[in-house]
Amino acid sequence: MYCRNCGNEVSEKAIMCVACGTPPLAGNRYCPNCKAETSPDAGICIRCGVGLINTSNHSEFDWLTTLLLCLFLGTFGIHRFYTKSIGIGIVQLLTLGGCGLWTLIDFIMIVVGNFRDGNGKVVVNKQRA
């Protein structure tokens, strides 16, 4: 397969691309199957049709940390600050998590794996994924 970041050919089991030093599936520029260039948010490769669902849309923030912060400090928006959603964090801080309701919704989103960080990436439970 090919490194999704630089297009270099890497082994199926490689955890890191020798050419660019990132995990082969962490990039979003090349198809891992046919090396065609892909758009960053493409779901499938337009040349070979292979699915491009990978870790590139997964947040680098830790799922469990986000969950615990939301559970214990969510009314202050701390989980939002942690995941770099600073603007929303400030609003939640000022409104005490939308009187707790917003925090509850965020908590559910985190649990079901639908919570997005400030970069629009999904915070996922990597142990389970």
Question: Among candidates 93, 78, 86, 96, which has minimal Cα distance to 110?
Answer: 78
**Nearest distance from C-beta of residue 95 to Zn ion, angstroms:** 44
Q: Is 91 in the site for Zn ion (CB under 5 A)?
A: no
Question: Among candidates 64, 65, 55, 66, which has minimal Cα distance to 25?
Answer: 55
**Nearest distance from C-beta of residue 48 to Zn ion, angstroms:** 3
User: Residue 43 or 100: which CB sits closer to Zn ion?
Assistant: 43
Report the C-alpha gap between 120 and 60 in whole angstroms: 11
Report the C-alpha gap between 35 and 29 in whole angstroms: 9
**Nearest distance from C-beta of residue 92 to Zn ion, angstroms:** 38
Binders of Zn ion in range 1-60 (CB under 5 A): 3, 5-6, 8, 17, 19-20, 31, 33-34, 36, 45, 47-48
Query: Per the structure block, which two tokens stand in for 39?
Result: 């758009």
Q: How many residues bind Zn ion (CB under 5 A)?
A: 14
129 CB burial (10 A radius; 0-12, 13-18, 19+): exposed
User: Residue 3 or 124: which CB sits closer to Zn ion?
Assistant: 3
User: Residue 13 or 128: which CB sits closer to Zn ion?
Assistant: 13
Give residues in contact with Zn ion (CB under 5 A).
3, 5-6, 8, 17, 19-20, 31, 33-34, 36, 45, 47-48
